[in-house]
């Protein structure tokens, strides 16, 4: 239903997990995709996989904690693929500790990536969309943790709550320029990073407390991602904060 032919997208955190899935989904919908990540060694394999179904993708190095690196990634993407009209702001990290045990380094690590990094990626994307006169789409990947407190994830919850408010502020400010800014708040999704955890006693205990006693699959985010990244189909959706969590925020 949602086609992105002729559009260029940039996905941060594309080297693994949800970022890699998002990049592939956008490419299958016809977008040219800049695969942005610090770990560029894994981007080549993803670009080849996308080329295998006649998609087009290029790896670009991007450290979201470094503003110069962000600008360089966008510049490289524009040079090779054309002006970026879709930004999937996905990079994120977490530290699981009790609040009394969080160090200053832990705090800075989470906020530098999840909040500061997300802000400057969106800012760089918006500046270029405005310069090129594009009606762009920015999709911030927040988290159910930005809407609901999760145990031993205080700093992560704080950082994602900031992304939720950041999304609303940007949507209000950039709407007149034709840029829609929305956020997806995933619940517990099984990826290669956390797959082993769900088989542990702690993982099983957590699943037993979820509303439908299951975790999600990355493909469960495909539909909302494509809708928000599309053009006319999402023209009237701006500043939306959308939980995709199987009802977790209702529990």
- Report percent pLDDT > 70 for the chain: 100
Please report whether residue 1 resides in a domain: no
Q: Choose the weakest-confidence range: 58-62, 65-69, 230-234.
A: 230-234
pLDDT, residue 189, reads: 96
Vertex 229 angle, CA 224 and 234, to 5°:
80
Sign of CA dihedral 42, 224, 95, 9: positive
Q: Give the confidence band of 136 by pLDDT, cuts at 50, 70, 90.
A: very high
Write the CB contacts of 171 (distance below 8 Å, at least 6 apart in sequence): 180, 181, 182, 238, 239
pLDDT, residue 193, reads: 83
Please report whether residue 176 resides in a domain: yes
Please report whether residue 125 resides in a domain: yes
Cβ-based neighbour number of residue 188 at 10 Å: 20
For residue range 192-207, what is the model confidence (pLDDT) as tens digits? 888 899 999 999 999 9
pLDDT (average), residues 227-233: 93
- Report percent pLDDT > 90 for the chain: 94
Specify the pTM: 0.96
pLDDT, residue 192, reads: 85
Task: Domain of residue 22: give its range.
Answer: 8-242
Sign of CA dihedral 114, 119, 121, 126: positive
Mean pLDDT of the chain: 96
Spatial separation of the C-alpha atoms in residues 87 and 137, rounded to whole Å = 6
pLDDT (average), residues 13-17: 95
- Sheet of strand 241-244, all strands in order from the earlier edge strand to the far edge: 56-61, 32-37, 8-12, 86-89, 137-141, 180-186, 241-244
For residue range 146-191, what is the model confidence (pLDDT) as tens digits? 999 999 999 999 999 999 999 999 999 999 999 999 999 999 999 9
In angstroms and rounded to an integer, the radius of gyration of the C-alpha atoms of the chain is: 17
pLDDT, residue 231, reads: 85
pLDDT, residue 39, reads: 86
Please report whether residue 80 resides in a domain: yes
pLDDT (average), residues 132-140: 97
- The residues annotated with a catalytic role in the active site are 156
CATH number of the domain that residue 187 is part of = 3.40.50.720
* Number of domains forming the structure of the chain: 1
Please report whether residue 216 resides in a domain: yes
pLDDT (average), residues 115-143: 98
Please report whether residue 249 resides in a domain: no
Kindly tell me if the per-residue pLDDT of 1 is higher than 80. no
Please report whether residue 250 resides in a domain: no
Kindly tell me if the per-residue pLDDT of 134 is higher than 80. yes
Please report whether residue 2 resides in a domain: no
């Amino acid at each position: 239903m949602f086609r992105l032919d002729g559009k260029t997208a940039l996905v941060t955190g594309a080297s693994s997990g949800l970022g890699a899935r998002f990049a592939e989904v956008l490419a299958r919908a016809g977008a040219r995709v800049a695969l942005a990540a610090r770990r560029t060694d894994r981007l080549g394999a993803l670009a080849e996989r996308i080329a295998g179904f006649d998609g087009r993708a290029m790896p670009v190095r991007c450290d979201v904690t470094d503003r110069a690196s962000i600008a360089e990634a966008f510049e490289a993407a524009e040079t090779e693929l054309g002006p970026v009209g879709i930004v999937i702001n996905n990079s994120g990290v977490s530290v699981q500790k009790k609040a009394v045990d969080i160090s200053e380094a832990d705090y800075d690590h989470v906020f530098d990536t999840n909040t500061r990094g997300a802000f400057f990626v969106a800012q760089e994307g918006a500046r270029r969309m405005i310069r090129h006169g594009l009606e762009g789409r920015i999709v911030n990947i927040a988290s159910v943790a930005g809407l609901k407190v999760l145990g031993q994830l205080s700093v992560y919850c704080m950082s994602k709550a900031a992304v939720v408010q950041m999304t609303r502020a940007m949507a209000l400010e950039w709407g007149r320029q034709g840029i829609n800014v929305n956020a997806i708040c995933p619940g517990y999704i099984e990826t290669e990073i956390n797959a082993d955890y769900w088989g542990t006693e702690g993982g099983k205990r957590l699943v037993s407390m979820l509303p439908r006693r299951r975790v999600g699959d990355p493909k469960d985010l495909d539909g909302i991602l494509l809708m928000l990244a599309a053009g006319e189909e999402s023209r009237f959706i701006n500043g939306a904060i959308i939980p995709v969590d199987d009802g977790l925020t209702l529990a």
